[in-house]
A = this chain, B = another copy of it.
Amino acid sequence: MVDVIRVGREIRRADVASDSAVREHLGQLTKPVGSLGRLEDVARRLALIYGDPPPTLARRCVLTFAADHGVAAERVSAYGAEVTGQMCRVAGAGRAAINVMAGACAAAVFVVDVGVNAAEPLPGVEHRRVRNGTRNLAVEPAIDGADVARALAVGYDAVVTRLDDYDVFAVGELGIGNSTSAAAVTAALLGVEPHSVCGRGTGIDDQAFERKLRIVADALRRMPHTPTVAQVLGMVGGLELCAITGATVACARHRRAVVTDGFIATAGVLAGVCANRAIADYVFASHMSTEPGHALQLAHIGVAPLFELGMRLGEGTGAVLALPILDAAARLLREMATFGDAGVSQRSGGVGPL
């Protein structure tokens, strides 16, 4: 089994030395300089990851990792824990939001069961269950060290086994109670207070919100003084969050862009970046969630969201919408004409390269 944390520590930055050459290439494309705004930044970052020109990103997929959480027993979600498995069945049948949205974005969807609390394998879902849900982080460490390592490897392998078929990976999650786990993970990794990272998740009432805040605060108090990333994931993590960390490390290791989703998925991505800052070079934000901690996570990673549509569903639904945008950016460098080869007049009296 791959030691994901060790692999993660050895990852190097994207090819930042090529930055000025890529900027020059962008400046030669048949359009006013800078006129595609942030799309040009996306193109530039893709070129540093994949080389210039990057490949088209037509072969794209979403990995939606699912798991249950012992903390759901504390009634921190508007839904019962059984909904995780039920929603996995819907997604396995191709009828969840992520499936239908992926259809619009020409992306394949793979739902990976890392730890759903169900009796049997779920139809249409990849069965990689490490254990049937975590323990309750409100009363004990959620996952032991060996299972953290296994869940990290599940995510890592989910990418590695698809490297021949897909050029870019979006990550998402499914798991009732996991916004509490993601809040605790984020607070521990960033050293911030529970109120900065606790939101209303699926739509909880005031009482449930107070419980959530208290549970996160209590869990943070039980945390070792300067915990490792693996310790944070073990104390308060989720199996699907570990898998997302593993997928992030795999993308960086194999020089693929990884597109994060909302607050919960980004907690897993953040854990990877906290293990090794260089991993941030491979991460792209998609949307800005309504969950309050998401902006903190993205700021720490150093990526800005491409759009803000008030989404808070998870499953990878924000990330999947970003995939055509990344593909469009990649194609600017791969397919667009330059002023020179197209015989287009450069600007009159322009300063510097067009």
Interface check A163, CB cutoff 8 A: no
Does the CB pair B321–A328 fall under 8 Å? yes
Interface check A192, CB cutoff 8 A: no
A296–B347 alpha-carbon span in the complex (Å): 29
> A202: which of B35, B106, B312 is its contact (CB, 8 Å)?
B35
> A344: which of B36, B87, B97 is its contact (CB, 8 Å)?
B87
What distance in Å separates the Cβ of A265 from its nearest Cβ neighbour in chain B?
A: 14
B residues near A317, Cβ cutoff 8 Å: 36
Chain B residue, CB-CB nearest to A101:
B328
A48–B342 alpha-carbon span in the complex (Å): 44
Does the CB pair A36–B311 fall under 8 Å? yes
Does the CB pair B35–A328 fall under 8 Å? no
Find residues 310-343 in chain A having any chain B CB closer than 8 Å to their own CB: 310-313, 317, 320-321, 324-325, 327-328, 330-332, 334-337, 342-343
B residues near A290, Cβ cutoff 8 Å: 37
What distance in Å separates the Cβ of A344 from its nearest Cβ neighbour in chain B?
A: 4
Does the CB pair B104–A57 fall under 8 Å? yes
A326–B312 alpha-carbon span in the complex (Å): 18
A83–B56 alpha-carbon span in the complex (Å): 28
B residues near A190, Cβ cutoff 8 Å: none
Q: Can you identify 23 A-B contacts, CB atoms within 8 angstroms? A: A30-B95, A31-B313, A35-B202, A35-B203, A35-B312, A37-B290, A38-B310, A39-B309, A56-B103, A83-B344, A83-B345, A86-B342, A89-B342, A90-B344, A93-B342, A97-B332, A101-B331, A101-B332, A103-B327, A104-B325, A104-B330, A202-B347, A307-B307
Q: Which 3 A-B pairs have the closest CB atoms?
A: A37-B310, A104-B327, A104-B328
- Given A35-B203, A80-B348, 20 other A-B contacts at CB below 8 A? A29-B97, A30-B96, A30-B97, A32-B78, A32-B203, A35-B313, A36-B317, A37-B309, A38-B309, A90-B342, A93-B337, A93-B342, A95-B335, A96-B336, A97-B332, A100-B331, A104-B325, A105-B324, A106-B324, A321-B328
